[in-house]
Structure 1
């Protein structure tokens, strides 16, 4: 492996991303190791684990073997665990808070390890630099990871149907999977969305592509989730929808 990817909610106005990269490169330099560090995204909404989980799903399965470090960690410094997941195409490193929930549906998990955070004497507030960057570098050096194996990890709650992502075009991505949809292309679907401004009901046409409707549309996106949109417009702005707003399919015809 010679690739490490980073996904965080750190943004670019601070030095946090640079600190993680510097830590990785400094460790690898001592072993004459070279690595490509690829930024998947640092624009994850602050503290938004669902957003991070969805972005990982849209990117990690398309990489060759790599180490993927994800840091969206609102409870850093608490009793939450840190984990390494060994998969068929590399390693996932980060907090055990559900951030890897969606991508694991696409990857074959081999082993799950609990990271001994005390080994790294981390600060209370920056485990991205002090734990995850170091562990990522160690995996590159050793071409693997050795630690305490565990059987379970935290998964995001998908029993409640909700908004899990709003992309930059204003498309509303839900956690409703393709196999949960029982309507046909061309059907009019009535959907209720519970927002902070109250409940809203809309009718959208179930289509294959964005251009097939002039008003609200719904479709199965490239990751297999039900998505609500408007052609060349922001459905999220029109409906004043935000992350974790609840979704309920009323009828279809």
Structure 2
């Protein structure tokens, strides 16, 4: 059984390694695949995009361990959510909303049974003490219903890809490309406007010269704003939430 692990832990400290160690102690046969640990600290917008973009490519039946948890130690719930394809273990803080919107949720349960967490639960490291163990127990065959009561509604984040003429900058990737909430239309627009600036629509990064801004269909099917050989975030002074509009 594969566990796909995403977090904002980075790779400098021991956090990722110790979560994997906890998983191995509980489920030694499980295989941990690291999706990314480069989500910016506490950045739910970026984490939600990463999960949304990655989920369609994960093998059927996999477990997704997602930990971006600015509310760790608070009353926010820890949950396991089963869809027709994947099972997610994560905080209930909107992180899963976009990924789940394109799947059929079969059931969701709170992670409350102490039998499936570490004995001493830290107020600051639920990835190690709650989420990692839950993912490991799932990989060992524990049914999601065993973890706790059913959950009817999950917390929203309010960021969903859509087919529309306007949207917003969802987040930025490692290269400084701006990923928007707009699905790229079948009929290509002539341009995109963002923060009062008009950016031409092209097919590839090479369609413009070095340092020039462009808009195109990104690899996940969203409208993407870029600068060739540069960072759109820096060059265009873009921010998350900036309004984006299609120009027919």
Shorter-chain TM-score: what band?
Answer: 0.7 to 0.9
Cα displacement (A) at 1:107: 2.3
Per-residue CA shift, 1:180-235, capped at 9, x if unaligned? x6x9536133332xxxxxxxx21111233332334322223232322111223221
Is residue 214–residue 225 contact of structure 2 (8 Å, CA) maintained in 1?
yes
- 1:80 to 2:80 alignment: no
- 1:154 to 2:160 alignment: no
Cα displacement (A) at 1:154: 1.2
Is residue 61–residue 106 contact of structure 1 (8 Å, CA) maintained in 2?
no
What root-mean-square deviation, in Å, do the aligned CA atoms of Structure 1 and Structure 2 show? 2.3
Q: 1:18 to 1:188 in 2, by over 3 A?
A: closer
Determine the structure 1 residue equivalent to 2:215: 218
Determine the structure 2 residue equivalent to 1:203: 198
SS of residue matched to 2:152: coil
Determine the structure 2 residue equivalent to 1:163: 169
Cα displacement (A) at 1:153: 0.6
Using the size of structure 2 for normalisation, the TM-score is: 0.86
Determine the structure 2 residue equivalent to 1:195: none
In structure 2, what is the Cα distance between the partners aligned to 1:54 and 1:248? 17
Is residue 192–residue 244 contact of structure 2 (8 Å, CA) maintained in 1?
no
Is residue 82–residue 117 contact of structure 1 (8 Å, CA) maintained in 2?
no
Is residue 184–residue 206 contact of structure 1 (8 Å, CA) maintained in 2?
no
Using the size of structure 1 for normalisation, the TM-score is: 0.84
Task: Please list every run of 5 or more consecutive structure 1 residues that lacks an aligned counterpart in the other structure.
Answer: 193-200
Determine the structure 2 residue equivalent to 1:177: 183
Is residue 227–residue 235 contact of structure 2 (8 Å, CA) maintained in 1?
no
Structure with higher strand content: 1
Q: Which of 176, 193, 202 is 1:190 aligned to?
A: 193
Determine the structure 2 residue equivalent to 1:197: none
Aligned length, in residue pairs: 235
Q: Which of 31, 37, 40 is 1:36 aligned to?
A: 31
Cα displacement (A) at 1:130: 0.4
In structure 2, what is the Cα distance between the partners aligned to 1:73 and 1:162? 23
Is residue 8–residue 40 contact of structure 2 (8 Å, CA) maintained in 1?
yes
Q: Which of 226, 235, 241 is 1:229 aligned to?
A: 226
Cα displacement (A) at 1:20: 0.5
Q: 1:28 to 1:188 in 2, by over 3 A?
A: closer
Cα displacement (A) at 1:248: 4.1
SS of residue matched to 2:97: coil
